[in-house]
């Protein structure tokens, strides 16, 4: 069998807080007259649109070629990572995600949701919620929900284009108005909403809150946490490489000022995921060349282990893989 970099059709999801900016900034072809909040780039049910496997889903290919596509770390079931773009034209709910242990005990799900965000675009004075503004207990927060004083207890932080935010499970958080992000996360859609700005959903009804489970999962020790994690960067001849995170669940690198050729090798333990934020690249190897444009995401099957990434013009990339 011949394996090659796989391009998928993104799955668009309407959200009450969404907009049309994925079209403007990432060249997405959105459904007409839809308020799109999320574009799921890599997920089990995404459909391959290039090459021999065109028309098949990632899940179908993984079931047929688990080691070739997923690598030795892939243990069957869901693909371990979910890659999204989010367009927030209003505040998302104030929410929290469970860790692996709590996801299993509360929902019977195999994994929780640790995630990270890379800010693709941000309006002036754009902000997020990240942790608490002061030391409180679960009962204090429950009382604030009941009394309508939630916002006073939350830590609001301004963000700008190029910021990186690591959001471990248990972190209370919310994405703010006027922000577009790339999101890398464990494959889980378990979200506990604690506050939703007293608004109605797309169906005209208030969206469900999950206060009891959410408070069980919330880490109340995160008081005014810093957004800025220490990262390492190296300047190569044709690009700058920065390690944004390398945690038990996933790794994420940023490649900037990319104008030449990157020889990319990996050990076959995991598939690699490349997302293009700026420019156009060509991926070359023992397969037909694959051209990837701005706003697109491509999956490198684990068995490839080596390829050339060639910048057709000045490009910026994010490269991810799972660690477990």
pLDDT higher than threshold 80 for residue 229: no
What tens digit of pLDDT does each residue of 281-317 get? 999 999 999 999 999 999 999 999 999 999 999 999 9
pLDDT higher than threshold 80 for residue 228: no
Higher pLDDT, 205 or 116: 116
Burial (Cβ within 10 Å: 0-12, 13-18, ≥19) of residue 191: middle
Section 82-100 average pLDDT: 98
Q: Which residue has the tokens 């990339």?
A: 317
Are the CB atoms for 9 and 57 separated by under 8 Å? Answer: no
Percent of the chain at pLDDT exceeding 70: 100
Section 14-26 average pLDDT: 97
Taking all residues of the chain, what is their mean pLDDT, rounded to a whole number? Answer: 96
What tens digit of pLDDT does each residue of 176-195 get? 999 999 999 999 989 999 99
What tens digit of pLDDT does each residue of 105-140 get? 999 999 999 999 999 999 999 999 999 999 999 999
Buried b (16+ CB within 10 A) or exposed e, 78-95: bbbbbbbbbbbbbbbbbb
Q: What is this structure's pTM?
A: 0.96
pLDDT for res 245: 96
Section 228-241 average pLDDT: 88
Are the CB atoms for 186 and 249 separated by under 8 Å? Answer: yes
Phi/psi for 152 (5° steps) reads -65, -20
Domains of the chain: 6-217 (2.60.120.10), 232-322 (2.60.120.10)
Closest CA to 99 of 214, 194, 217, 18: 217
> Tokens standing for 132?
């608490």
* 193 catalytically annotated: yes
Higher pLDDT, 136 or 230: 136
pLDDT for res 231: 82
Catalytic residue among 193, 199, 224, 254: 193
Closest CA to 48 of 40, 56, 38: 56
d(CA 230, CA 214): 29
Are the CB atoms for 313 and 279 separated by under 8 Å? Answer: yes
């Amino acid at each position: 069998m011949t394996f090659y970099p796989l391009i998928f059709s993104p799955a668009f999801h309407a959200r009450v807080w969404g907009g049309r900016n994925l079209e403007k900034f990432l060249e997405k072809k959105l459904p007409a007259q839809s308020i799109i909040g999320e574009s799921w780039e890599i997920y089990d049910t995404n459909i391959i649109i290039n090459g021999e496997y065109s028309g098949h889903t990632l899940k179908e290919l993984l079931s047929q070629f688990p080691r070739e596509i997923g690598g030795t770390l892939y243990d069957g079931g869901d693909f371990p990572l979910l890659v999204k773009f989010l367009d927030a034209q209003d505040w998302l709910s104030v929410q929290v995600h469970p860790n692996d242990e709590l996801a299993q005990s509360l929902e019977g799900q195999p994994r929780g949701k640790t995630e990270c965000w890379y800010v693709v675009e941000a309006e002036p004075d754009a902000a997020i919620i990240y942790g608490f503004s002061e030391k409180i207990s679960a009962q204090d927060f429950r009382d604030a929900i009941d009394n309508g004083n939630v916002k006073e207890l939350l830590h609001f932080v301004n963000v700008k284009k190029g910021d990186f935010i690591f959001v471990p499970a248990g972190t209370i958080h919310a994405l703010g108005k006027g922000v577009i992000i790339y999101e890398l996360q464990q494959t889980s859609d378990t979200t506990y909403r604690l506050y939703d700005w007293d608004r109605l959903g797309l169906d005209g009804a208030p969206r469900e809150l999950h206060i009891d489970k959410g408070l069980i999962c919330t880490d109340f020790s995160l008081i005014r946490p810093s957004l800025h994690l220490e990262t390492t960067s190296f300047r190569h001849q044709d690009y700058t490489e920065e390690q944004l995170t390398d945690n038990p669940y996933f790794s994420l690198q940023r490649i900037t000022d990319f104008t030449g050729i990157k020889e990319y090798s990996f050990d076959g333990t995991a598939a690699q995921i490349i997302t293009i934020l700026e420019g156009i690249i060509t991926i070359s190897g023992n397969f037909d060349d694959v051209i990837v444009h701005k706003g697109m995401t491509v999956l490198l099957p684990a068995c490839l282990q080596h390829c050339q990434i060639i910048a057709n013009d000045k490009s910026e990339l994010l490269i991810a893989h799972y660690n477990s």
